[in-house]
Each structure stands twice: as C-alpha cells, then as structure tokens.
C-alpha cells in the first residue's frame, strides 16, 4: 500500500551501526507522538552515499516527504518502519542543551513499559510480538556504566544500568556515536561524556531477528 499526501517531521534520536557499514535511523515524531524508523526505497537501511555526513545526527529535525510505502518486516519492527519514496530533508537542528526537554514526551517509565511487557530474561522480545521496538527511559546517570566484553570477534561495548523501576539491564551498545567515542578513546572517553551530569536519557531498541529473538540494545544516550 502507498500512503499519499503526508509528511512527517522527526527529531533524530537513534543512529545505529549496522553490518556492511549501513546505518539504521529512527526519530521521535511530535505530531504523531510516536517513533518512526525511515527506510530507503526497498525497505533497506541507509548508506553513507545516500545521506551524506550530517543529515541523520541526534537532534536534527528531518522532514520525511510522502508518499510512503509499507515496510516488509514483521513485528515488532513493523510498528515503526516507514519506507520512503522521496529523499529526506534536513529542516533544522535542536541544540543538545534543549534536546532532553524536546524528547521528554518519548520517555517511558521503565524498560518494561516501553514494550508493554518485561523482556524475556531481561534481554529480548520474541519475533512476531506486536509491540513497539523503540523507546527510551530516563535514569540516574550514576546508576549507568560501560564495560568491554571479550568475544571471539574481539571486544564488544556494553552498557549496564538500572531503570526507575530498579531493574538492572546489561545491553550491547549499537549507538554509532557511542561506539565511535569508544573506538577513539576507550572507556575513559565514555565516562568523560557522563561526568558532571545527573541524568541519562537512554534510547533503547530491539535488534533484528536472531534465532527468533529481538535483543534489546542501547541505541543512544543523552546525558543531561
């Protein structure tokens, strides 16, 4: 189905690293009061040559012109997927000092509240579950930290935190910005981002199908 005559504007919140150098992008749509994950024609993720270096950065307001096509993925990702026909366009940028307030309507009270149910094993949602796949919580920055986990493919970045329901989580970090800071300066660079801030706005998303499981990941953090 093609939906004609609409335009969405999103505040970019999630910019995540994908395999093959692609980027997955999502943002909060104030007019619709929901998250939207724009995909390029064919329902694919974005390539650098499609978007340039600065279009999809956290805090950018991006116009998504219609018409739109239905996504091809199953739930939970179908809840937010929107396939574009026309290219997106940068409208303006929200200063970082104003961003947490602008995004406060996108917050949930807890991780379980994002998905309407607890994560199984505090890790994943089964493929096909009709729920959201994107959301955010705000928590005490002192109850959040980063760590490196050694794997067969080398060290992987992870983040542990408590939500406001006092439930602890330990998720892989998919955020492009946080991963780049870690690669450039190690864990010290991430701790420097946190230093001096009381709160952490944590963007959380479900990764794609892995053995019928959609694992929760940290898609971004805004310290404030």
Nearest alpha carbon to residue 60 among 87, 34, 18, 25 = 25
Write out the two tokens for 113. Answer: 């509240």
* CATH annotation of 106-223: 2.40.50
Average pLDDT of the segment spanning 14-37: 92
The pLDDT tens digits of the residues spanning 142-181 come to 999 999 998 888 899 999 999 999 999 999 999 999 999 9
Asked if the model's pLDDT at residue 1 lies above 50, the reply is no
Q: Name the class of domain 2-97.
A: mainly beta
- Residue 219: helix, strand or coil by DSSP? strand
Structure tokens belonging to residue 117 = 């149910």
β-pair partners for 199: 140
Separation of alpha carbons 140 and 19, rounded Å: 32
pLDDT of residue 152: 85
Q: Where are the alpha helices (DSSP H) in 43-93?
A: 48-51
Q: Could you tell me if 168 and 160 are in contact, meaning their C-beta atoms sit under 8 angstroms apart? A: yes
- Has residue 2 got a pLDDT over 50? no
Domain range list for the chain = 2-97, 106-223
pLDDT value for 54: 86
How far apart (Å, rounded) are the C-alpha atoms in residues 132 and 32?
A: 14
CB 190 within 8 A of CB 196: no
**Equal fold, 2-97 vs 106-223:** yes
Q: How far apart are CA 204 and CA 199, in angstroms?
A: 16
Beta strand pairing status for 60-65 and 7-17? Answer: antiparallel
Dihedral sign, CA of 99, 105, 109, 110?
A: negative
Spatial separation of the C-alpha atoms in residues 67 and 213, rounded to whole Å: 32
User: Which is more confidently placed, 148 or 2?
Assistant: 148
Q: Which of 8-17, 19-28, 31-40 has the lowest mean pLDDT?
A: 19-28
Q: What is the pLDDT of residue 5?
A: 53
Q: Does the pLDDT of residue 209 top 70, yes or no?
A: no
- Tell me the range of 52-61, 63-72, 101-110 where mean pLDDT is highest: 101-110
Least confident residue range of 43-47, 122-126, 179-183, 206-210: 206-210
Mean pLDDT of the region 73-85: 92
At 34-59, the pLDDT tens digits run 999 999 988 889 987 777 778 999 99
């Amino acid at each position: 189905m093609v939906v004609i005559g609409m335009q969405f504007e999103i505040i970019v919140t999630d910019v995540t690293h994908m395999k093959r150098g692609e980027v997955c992008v999502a943002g909060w749509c104030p007019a619709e009061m929901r998250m939207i994950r724009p995909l390029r024609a064919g329902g694919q993720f974005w390539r650098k040559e499609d978007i340039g270096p600065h279009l999809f950065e956290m805090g950018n307001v991006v116009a998504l012109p219609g018409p739109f096509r239905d996504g091809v993925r199953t739930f939970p990702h179908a809840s937010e997927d929107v396939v574009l026909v026309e290219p997106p366009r940068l409208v303006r940028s929200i200063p970082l000092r104003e961003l947490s307030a602008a995004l406060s309507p996108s917050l949930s009270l807890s991780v379980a509240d994002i998905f309407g149910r607890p994560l199984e094993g505090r890790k994943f949602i089964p493929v096909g579950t009709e729920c959201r796949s994107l959301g955010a919580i705000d928590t005490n920055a002192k109850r959040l930290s980063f760590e490196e986990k050694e794997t067969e493919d080398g060290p992987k970045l992870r983040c542990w935190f408590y939500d406001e329901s006092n439930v602890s989580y330990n998720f892989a970090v998919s955020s492009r910005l946080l991963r780049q800071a870690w690669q450039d300066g190690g864990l010290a660079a991430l701790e420097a981002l946190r230093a001096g801030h009381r709160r952490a706005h944590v963007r959380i998303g479900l990764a794609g199908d892995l053995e019928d499981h959609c694992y929760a990941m940290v898609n971004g953090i805004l310290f404030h």
